[in-house]
Amino acid sequence: MTIAETQPNPARTKAGEPVVNDFSITIATKNGSGSQTANATLLRALFKMGIPVSGKNLFPSNIQGLPTWYTIRASKEGFIARRQRAEVLVAMNKATVLDDVQKLESGGVCVYSDSLGYTPNRDDITFYKIPAGKLADASGLAGKLRGYAENMAYVGVLIYLLGIDLEEVKAALTWQFKGKAKAIEPNIKTINAAIDWAKETLTKNDSFKVERMNNTGGLIMIDGNTAAALGAIYGGVSFVAWYPITPATSLADALNFYLPSLRTDPENKTPTYSVVQAEDELAALGMVLGAGWAGARSMTSTSGPGISLMSEFAGYGYFAEIPAVIWDIQRMGPSTGLPTRVSQGDVLPTYFLGHGDTKNVILLPGSVKECFEFGWRAFDLAERLQTPVFILSDLDIGMNQWMSEPFDYPEGEMDRGKVLTKEDLERLGGKWARYRDVDGDGIGWRTLPGTDHPMAAYFTRGTGHTEMATYSERPEDWEKNMERLGRKFETARKLAPAPVEDRVEGAEIGLIGYGSTDPAIIEARSRLAAKGVKTSYLRLRALPLSESVESFIRAHDRVYVVELNTDAQVAQLVRLDAPELAGRVFPLNHNDGLPLTARWIVEALEKMEA
């Protein structure tokens, strides 16, 4: 056992004063070492102790062997963004231990496995060496499974050191293994052995601990991709075509997992949906457009590289006016880029995806709850607007675990949009025009193939067309059609989810953000407020930009657009939409593949303000 001199972090605690429910834990392991169960157990136990938490997996694009980090943030104030540095480190990976220890907050704690051959090299950190391998003996497991059990050794030690409720850990394990005693028992045995060993051997010499609170009652814990899939299912999705890509795959996985139980017709035991794994993303969107054209609620999910491949079909869907829902779980960079790292780099390319004047409708969920909500709402919008609707989530929201209020059941009836039935056509005497703007909102009426009326059919094409959907190269037909599409875009501006605003009396600074940066912005605003810096906040939830964005900019001297990309993509769009106000709009963008932190926002903003 090695216990170094404790140097409490002067910034965070007075010497000896305990730090309760307000720190981050980083668990450094290797990909494929089976630590997910241990980490998820810890997260859930803290959550069930009523402490606000978030869990983030920082993992490499690799199946086995490369370093992986899991960070758990416990925050009594309810801040759940990533923190730049952790106070508690569990070091289980020899390859990264030196670096991991270096990144610890001063005054922090390091629990490390004796198998690393590591000798502590910081004197402002409290070190605890644990015989993880030996403790795993208690599991009674052999081979690979025994290796997995080693992870339970650090769970046991953390239970002792931090004061985590053992009963909640047991409950979390039971929950994880769905009550299967055979799987649960070896883990409990290891945990117990580790606790006993720690009690006997370790002297608690740091100030970090957890205590039961009452701040997570009634909340659920879920990842954004599962939330999105459930949203789609409650939105009545009936056709899905997709192609595997990280970090979108778990969305399709969740669809495949939940659809059979939620969407099997109880009367005849048949599925009310179809999921097809396509040969590539081009085919995926082609199938989705085919099904959407035929009248089914259809969707696909992908990430950046898939979005590029879908470009031609996206432009087609926009111009031929076919409903479709496309989820983009954004990741970093082109090609494979950094496929397991987060970014908000697809905003501009997706907004303009297509060719020949395309501006797409985009939804921007900022939480798992919004992933669910937009999951169903997107179908209403796509069918109402007769256009592909994109939903830009990202790896952080999509693949990490988030606390949330339980999801609300979709309100109202499904909006199936403007569809003329056989009866409508009879009433109209068969007189109708597919692309005529009868209602002044830019949206025409469509018929579905299989409508039993001799005048129902029309011809769908990407080429120039008249109101009657007949081929045309006449300049005035083209212009008229593009004008109508412009009108439709203005309709979309009104129908898309409005931004969420928090305007603060007397604030000179406005922040605009969207998507997964929301928690970091919330926390940054609170830190800034503590320093006497007032900020207003507008969180975008859709493109086209709502008209309220302009008034928000007018109400502030300086507006910073916070986002996770290099080209300040939404800042550019905001400037484009309100050119006379462009001088007040500044980018506050960052792009390092990691979820944004409040610290970065505060520091970057202070630099800009200086």
Partner 1 sequence: MTTVNAPKSNTKVNKLGLEKAVYKGLESTLCNGCGHDSISARIIDACFDLGIRSEFIAKFSGIGCSSKSPAYFLSRSHGFNSLHGRMPSVATGAMVANRELTGIGVSGDGDTGSIGFGQFKHAIRRNAPMVYIIENNGVYGLTKGQFSATSDVGQELKHAGINELPPIDLCLEAIVADCGFVARSFAGDPKQVTTLLKAALSFKGTAVLDIISPCVTFNDKDESTKSYSWGKAHNEHVIDATFVPYFEEIIVDYAPGEAKEVELHDGSKIVLKKLDRAHDATDRMAAIKLLEEAKHKQQFITGLIYINQSRADLREQEHLPETPLVHLPAAKLRPSKDSLVKLMEGMK
289 is a contact residue toward partner 1 (CB under 8 A): yes
239 is a contact residue toward partner 1 (CB under 8 A): yes
Task: Please state, in angstroms and as integers, the Cα–Cα distance from residue 2 to each residue in 28, 336, 545, following that order.
Answer: 19, 43, 57
234 is a contact residue toward partner 1 (CB under 8 A): yes
Instruction: Kindly indicate which of the ranges 49-57, 80-88, 182-190, 264-272 contains the residues binding partner 1, using the contact rule CB under 8 A.
Output: 264-272
Nearer to partner 1, 411 or 476 (CB): 411
E-strand spans in 164-286?
208-209, 220-223, 239-242, 274-277
Among positions 472-491, residues that touch partner 1 (CB under 8 A) are none
Give me 602's structure tokens. Answer: 């505060």
Residues 6+ apart with CB under 8 A from 226: 250, 251, 254, 258
Instruction: Tokens 């550019």: give the residue.
Output: 572
Burial of 479 (0-12, 13-18, 19+ CB in 10 A): exposed
374 is a contact residue toward partner 1 (CB under 8 A): no
Instruction: Tokens 């484009």: give the residue.
Output: 576
Of the residues 230, 307, 399, 564, which one makes contact with partner 1 according to CB under 8 A: 230
299 is a contact residue toward partner 1 (CB under 8 A): no
Site string for partner 1, 415-434 (x = CB under 8 A): -------x---x--------
Among positions 170-229, residues that touch partner 1 (CB under 8 A) are 218-222
286 is a contact residue toward partner 1 (CB under 8 A): yes
568 is a contact residue toward partner 1 (CB under 8 A): no
Nearer to partner 1, 95 or 262 (CB): 262
Residue 387: φ, ψ to 5°: -160, 155
Shortest distance, position 111 Cβ to partner 1, whole Å:
29
Nearer to partner 1, 380 or 563 (CB): 380
Cα–Cα distance measured from residue 387 to residue 383, given in angstroms and rounded to the nearest whole number: 7
Cα–Cα distance measured from residue 293 to residue 460, given in angstroms and rounded to the nearest whole number: 9
Of the residues 294, 438, 468, 529, which one makes contact with partner 1 according to CB under 8 A: 294
116 is a contact residue toward partner 1 (CB under 8 A): no
Cα–Cα distance measured from residue 556 to residue 391, given in angstroms and rounded to the nearest whole number: 29
471 is a contact residue toward partner 1 (CB under 8 A): yes
Among positions 62-91, residues that touch partner 1 (CB under 8 A) are none
Nearer to partner 1, 50 or 345 (CB): 50
313 is a contact residue toward partner 1 (CB under 8 A): yes
389 is a contact residue toward partner 1 (CB under 8 A): no
140 is a contact residue toward partner 1 (CB under 8 A): no
| Three-state secondary-structure class, residue 310 | coil
Of the residues 17, 279, 439, 603, which one makes contact with partner 1 according to CB under 8 A: 279
Site string for partner 1, 450-469 (x = CB under 8 A): xxxxx-xxxxxxxx------
Instruction: Kindly indicate which of the ranges 94-102, 158-166, 267-275, 549-557 contains the residues binding partner 1, using the contact rule CB under 8 A.
Output: 267-275
Nearer to partner 1, 35 or 451 (CB): 451
Shortest distance, position 263 Cβ to partner 1, whole Å:
7
Give start and end residues of each alpha helix (H) in 295-442.
304-309, 311-320, 347-351, 368-385, 395-399, 422-427
Radius of gyration of the chain (CA): 27
Q: Compute how many residues bind partner 1; rule: CB under 8 A.
A: 73
Q: At what angle do helices 143-162 and 166-176 cross, to 10 degrees?
A: 150
Burial of 182 (0-12, 13-18, 19+ CB in 10 A): exposed
